Structure 1
Amino acid sequence: MKEQHHKWYSPTLSKDIEMLVFGHSGYPVILFPTTMGKHNECKDMKLVESARWFVEQGKIQIYCPDGINELSWYNKNIHPSQRAKNHEWYDQFILNELVNPICNEKGLHKVAVAGPSFGGYQASNFAFKHPEKVSHMFSMSGAFDIKSFVDGHYDDNVFFNNPIDYLPGNNHPDLWKMKIILGVGEWDICLEANEKMAKILRDKNIPFWYDVRKWAKHDWPLWRDMFPEYLSKL
């Protein structure tokens, strides 16, 4: 399985960013790490390995960028408004330094996004904010409400990065074209969050697959089972 390491200075984030890319060709899948994870986490935890067949067959390429949650939602040393602003910059980084160049290089209009746990939030938030750029969204035990990270503060950057809040009023036509999977375990700490998101999608008549795994908890073995199955839907 071909693996490439990239490191560059991000003008959007004003810091160095690293990324691993797996595969030699195929449809692009942006795979976000969990809460404080970096570019190597999904490799180290064998999530990329679970997709080896798709990668080696040239069906997909997996892009694993750094997360910056320690500078945004999880940074208790700065004001909540700055936490939200820092995440908004991360969203713009993903759009302008990752997704748009990948689409230009491959001659595509859209990519797939995926992630486990807080990576499921990242994937869903990016997809629901930019549905014109996302063909498939695979959330594995994701959460979709970040108000607990902003200590009661609320502004536009919080609203527009909180899918539970903005999705009900988002009527971009590409939302109804997107292939959406919400995967969660029966014993998952994020089960309730997925129930709420599923209701929003149902109320809007947006097609999706709600995949609740019996006897499964919020952990990597569940996500390693889910990821290759979801990729097969590509």
Structure 2
Amino acid sequence: MQEYYHKWQSPILKREIEMLVFGHSGRPIILFPTSLGKYYEAKDRGLIESVRWFIENGFVKIYCPDSIDALSWYNKDIEPLGRAFNHNLYDQLIEEEVLSRALHETGWSTATVAGCSFGGYHAANFAFKHPEKIHALISMSGAFDIKSQVDGAYNDNVYFNNPIDYLPNNYNAALWHLHIILGTSTKDICLDQNKKLSKILAEKKINHWLDIRNDAPHDWPIWLEMFPHYLSVL
């Protein structure tokens, strides 16, 4: 399994960003880390190993960028609306510096986005904001309401990064072409958020699969089962 390390000075963030890439060909997947996670998290936690077969056989090429959660949603040292502003910069970085690279390297016109827990939020939010550039969304135990991270503050930056709020009013035709998988479980702390998002998608008649598994906590063991299963479905 080929592995590549990239480090560059982001012109958007004005700081260094690191990323691991796994594979030699195939549909690109941008895999977001969990809360405050680093670019090597998916490798260290075994998530990359769980889909080794897909990578080695050239079905997928997985891009694992850093998060900047410590500068955005989890940054309690700045005022709440500044957190949303910083996340907008991250969204721009993913679109212009990660996604564009992935599409260029693989020759595909769209990518898949995926993530566990808060990574599921990042994947869903990016997919719903840029559906014309996304083929599929894989969220494993994702959370989709960002308002808890902004201490009651609210403006357009919060609204347009909060899928629970903006998705009902989003009529981009590309949304109806997305392949959407929402993985959760009966013991998942994010079960209700997945049910709520599924209800919004159902009301908009957007096809998706809400996969509710039994007796699995919000943790890596169930995500290691989900990820290869979902890739096999796609």
TM-score, L = length of structure 1: 0.98
- 5+ unaligned residues in a row in structure 2: which ranges? none
1:221 aligns to 2:221 (yes or no)? yes
- In the other structure, the counterpart of 1:188 is 188
- In the other structure, the counterpart of 1:202 is 202
State the SS of the aligned residue for 2:63: strand
State the SS of the aligned residue for 2:24: coil
Partners of 2:18 and 2:105 in 1: CA distance: 19
CA positional deviation for 1:108: 2.2
Instruction: For 1:37-116, list aligned pairs within 5 A.
Output: 37-116=37-116
- In the other structure, the counterpart of 2:139 is 139
List per-residue Cα deviations over 1:3-51 (Å, max 9, x = no partner): 1110000011111000000011111000000001000001100011100
Partners of 2:28 and 2:101 in 1: CA distance: 11
List per-residue Cα deviations over 1:102-147 (Å, max 9, x = no partner): 2233332210000000000000000000000100000000000010
- In the other structure, the counterpart of 2:27 is 27
Paired residues, number: 234
- In the other structure, the counterpart of 1:154 is 154
| Residue identity matched to 1:45 | R
| Contact 2:63/2:102, CA 8 A, preserved across alignment | no
State the SS of the aligned residue for 1:206: coil
State the SS of the aligned residue for 2:51: helix
- In the other structure, the counterpart of 2:130 is 130
CA positional deviation for 1:217: 1.0
Partners of 1:127 and 1:212 in 2: CA distance: 21
CA positional deviation for 1:219: 0.3
| Residue identity matched to 1:96 | E
- In the other structure, the counterpart of 1:18 is 18
Partners of 1:4 and 1:107 in 2: CA distance: 18
CA positional deviation for 1:66: 0.2
**Distance change (3 Å), C-alpha of 1:185 and 1:196:** same
Partners of 2:163 and 2:215 in 1: CA distance: 27
CA positional deviation for 1:100: 1.8
CA positional deviation for 1:74: 0.3
Runs of 4+ in 1 over 6 A off after TM superposition: none
Partners of 2:107 and 2:32 in 1: CA distance: 23
